[in-house]
Amino acid sequence: MEVPGAGRNRRIGPYALLGSGRTVGGGELFAARTDEGLLVTVTVAGPEPAANPEFRDRLRAAVEAARRLSGAFLVPVVDADADAPLPWVATRFTAGLPLRHAVDRHGALGEPALRVLADGLARALAVLHGAGTVHGGVDPDSVLLTMDGPRIGALGLVGATASPPPSPTDDMFGLGATVLYAASGGEQDTDALPASLREVIGGCLYPEPSDRPTAEQLVDYLEHQGLPAPEGGWLPSAVTADMAAAAAAVGSARAVQVPVPPRPVGAPGRGVSRRNVLLGIAGGAALLGGGAAALAFSGDSAPAPEGRAGGLGTTARPTRPSGARTTSAPSPSSEDGPEPVVLTGPDAVKAWSRTGKRAPTCLEASDKVVMVVTDKATSFMEAASGDRAFDALNTRNSFGANMSTYPTAYADGVFYLLCDAPGQWGLLAAFDAADGKVKWAVNLAASDPGGAKIVSNYGRQYLAASGGTVYVCGVVRDYGRKFSTDNPITGYIRAFAATTGKKLWQVQGTDINNVLVPPSGSRLLAASAIPAKQPGRVQMIDAARKGARGWKVPLRYPSPYYGTGWPMTGYADGHFLFAGGKGDTLSVVDAATGTEKWHQRFEAKNGDRVRMGAPFSSLDGATVYVPIGSDLAALSTADGTLRWVATLDGASDTGGANLFTASLRLGGRHAQCSADTVFATDSAKTLWAIDAATGRARWKYSDPSQPDVGFRWTVGGDRVFIASHLTMTAIAADGR
């Protein structure tokens, strides 16, 4: 934006602009003064966003939200005009230096200052995100260093100009990049990060948004480290001297002119449209058009041409396409296939409900006890009553379960947890479900390679227990390595004895990704992590032979398998299940030999692209459940015969079609089973209890306060347990 010289006194609203401006995000920033002499900072939008009526709507909404916010590290909004020829936002004037200026002139900040910077930015973003607001412009130019800590404006103008609008995970990436800039002097070298920040700031820079910590989690991480705050001023003396000079210069600055273009004409009644959210990982999303894919089944063993779809409309029942061939069992036809069941049912009756002092981050349950983990402690509740079962422990997990991480497991009377404790980080702990006492705990970080110099981060994403062994699986991230679709990630599996916690073996490699640990047996399933557009494969990992590689099965089409979460995998009655092709084919192979038993191809009846979610099975393994968009199909494990299809109706909470969360190709547990009930969540934030024999809903439980990625819940015996902020609720499988 062109700014003429200071000789022409020009105003923006009631403010006279002082000196020359600097570009920040989507606008230009000026110091300004009212007629009464009060100083403010004014950010003025450029002509291009000003000409967009949608930008003005979004800016107006963002300003309204920002006016209600306050926080020690936020610069509050004091005035704004989204309808001005050039929209502007005024914030309280704060004496300080832009971080980029300080680093470029005086070099990298030391560890104490970097910790203050990270903590202050995280606290500011926690306030914004807690209010449902996104900054969208956290970078070295928008962060101001002051005597009392870092500051960011309560509104990032780039957040109102970006399309699509940024998310909280974008803010966290910006925070990580900003701290890294300050640590490396602008070189963006992760080795420059001090050890106390390397893991969490590195996490902010993960390529998968779902892997990044939240602002609250970052604050908690730093707080629990218990490191001393810097003594005296937190910044180098040369930086504070520059601050004083900059503040003094504002008083003598002259007003400048900002050009005013013709005011754009907006369409009548135009407002902020709510965008549809496409969720996915590993390069794939659930692209389901305006509605969920009505399914057809094909046993055709040859790859079908891409884009093939049925044409019977969105409400057509499952059919066998004309001329389809079957592998072992006939696919359901339009004459003999079951009618889809539209899910509808009564609201669940709560068995009990209890309120605690801290919000649970993850849950695990047996038929008698519920383990409830928070960012402060681990407690145990009686499954039947919700009463306290045992004394709480000081183990905690601040990050909890999310799209890419599940840190709890239960097997054979023992709860397992990835956790921290006072003075100890990165623990794997085992708790006796009979008395809640710690059986053993091991420090996972102690076995990381690299010696004194930390070169890799072993991200712990998945915990499972089976056959007397506990498995920790995840991704190895080298700090000096650049992520790209042509650079495969490295996965790992660590095995520990369930009775003692002794480490048994460890394997890693680019052929180990998205590991599946079955509830029984010694054979695991892993997918290869390979560059995009090359054929992938799944392979058996033999736990009885200390992780030796076993059989391999190629996947039918090239696909982006380089990331975690794809292909979708499952296990049922001695067979591995996995999504093949473009996500439209379920393959079922013998777990011991890799020999295919049958495969089933799914087709959309309305032209939408089919993308399977993670298949799962009944507890006895006799039935396989396949989530695809708004449909949940139940098939016989023996031969793939379709038993029923349950279908969601209505819209999600974002305005699109209501989908099963398990179909969105996200990690975590979005569908689970008891002996006779299938539990599944949807994108309208409803938990459904579905009769396993008929596919009809027994009850539903809606909770709009649940996270966007799905419920925080678990199943133990014949009950389902749900955490909603501070409240724990139990519901019997029959809903009564």
DSSP string, 387-403: -EEEEEES-B-SS-S-S
Average pLDDT rounded to a whole number, residues 538-556? 91
pLDDT over 90 (residue 116): yes
Distance separating alpha carbons of residues 710 and 73, to the nearest angstrom? 31
Q: Are 206 and 399 spatial neighbours (Cβ–Cβ below 8 Å)?
A: no
Helix (H) or strand (E) holding 719: strand 719-724
Distance separating alpha carbons of residues 560 and 565, to the nearest angstrom? 11
Q: What is the pTM of this model?
A: 0.61
The amino acid present at 691, given as its one-letter code, is: D
Residue by residue, DSSP assigns 490-525 as EEEEEEEETTT--EEEEEEETT-EEEE--SSSSEEE
Distance separating alpha carbons of residues 108 and 313, to the nearest angstrom? 61
**CB atoms near residue 299 (< 10 Å):** 18
Of the candidates 299, 289, 304, the residue with the CA atom closest to the CA atom of residue 319? 299
pLDDT over 80 (residue 316): no
Distance separating alpha carbons of residues 64 and 68, to the nearest angstrom? 7
pLDDT per residue as tens digits for the range 435-491: 999 999 999 865 555 444 444 567 787 899 999 999 999 887 665 555 444 566 788
- The pLDDT value given to residue 269: 31
Which among 130-139, 158-167, 314-323 has the top mean pLDDT? 130-139
pLDDT per residue as tens digits for the range 347-400: 999 999 999 888 898 999 999 999 999 989 999 999 999 999 999 999 999 878
- The pLDDT value given to residue 686: 93
| Token pair for 505 | 């073996």
- The pLDDT value given to residue 35: 77
Share of the chain above pLDDT 90, in %: 36
Q: What is the DSSP letter of 561?
A: -
pLDDT over 70 (residue 595): yes
Ranges 7-11, 192-196, 483-487: which has the least confidence: 483-487
The amino acid present at 572, given as its one-letter code, is: A
Kindly report the backbone phi and psi dihedral angles of residue 223, in degrees, each rounded to the nearest multiple of 5, phi listed first: -65, -40
Higher pLDDT, 344 or 482: 344
654 contact partners, CB below 8 Å, separation of at least 6: 274, 275, 276, 277, 683
- The pLDDT value given to residue 233: 78
Q: Which residue has the tokens 């009809």?
A: 696
Distance separating alpha carbons of residues 597 and 582, to the nearest angstrom? 20
| Token pair for 160 | 């109102």
Distance separating alpha carbons of residues 563 and 552, to the nearest angstrom? 19
- The pLDDT value given to residue 312: 21
Across the strands, what pairs with 107?
none
Q: What is the DSSP letter of 447?
A: G
Distance separating alpha carbons of residues 342 and 694, to the nearest angstrom? 12
Ranges 65-79, 103-117, 206-220: which has the least confidence: 65-79
What's the mean per-residue pLDDT of the chain? 77
Distance separating alpha carbons of residues 97 and 77, to the nearest angstrom? 19
484 contact partners, CB below 8 Å, separation of at least 6: none
Across the strands, what pairs with 355?
727
pLDDT category at 20 given cuts 50, 70, 90 is low
Average pLDDT rounded to a whole number, residues 82-93? 85
- The pLDDT value given to residue 369: 98
Average pLDDT rounded to a whole number, residues 191-215? 86
Across the strands, what pairs with 14?
none
CA torsion angle 426 428 431 433 (round to 10): 120
pLDDT over 60 (residue 278): no
- What is the distance in angstroms between the CA of the first residue and the CA of the last residue of the chain? 65
| Token pair for 426 | 């990165």
Q: Are 570 and 617 spatial neighbours (Cβ–Cβ below 8 Å)?
A: yes
Q: What is the DSSP letter of 10?
A: -
CA atoms within 13 A on the CB side of 466: 16
pLDDT over 80 (residue 244): no
Of the candidates 557, 551, 514, 563, the residue with the CA atom closest to the CA atom of residue 536? 557
Distance separating alpha carbons of residues 424 and 225, to the nearest angstrom? 9
| Token pair for 676 | 């006779």
Distance separating alpha carbons of residues 1 and 5, to the nearest angstrom? 13
Classified as helix, coil or strand, 446 is: helix
568 contact partners, CB below 8 Å, separation of at least 6: 578, 579, 583, 612, 613, 614, 615, 665
Distance separating alpha carbons of residues 567 and 529, to the nearest angstrom? 10
Average pLDDT rounded to a whole number, residues 684-710? 89
Distance separating alpha carbons of residues 371 and 580, to the nearest angstrom? 36
Distance separating alpha carbons of residues 218 and 118, to the nearest angstrom? 8
Kindly report the backbone phi and psi dihedral angles of residue 512, in degrees, each rounded to the nearest multiple of 5, phi listed first: -120, 110
- The pLDDT value given to residue 706: 80
Distance separating alpha carbons of residues 27 and 38, to the nearest angstrom? 22
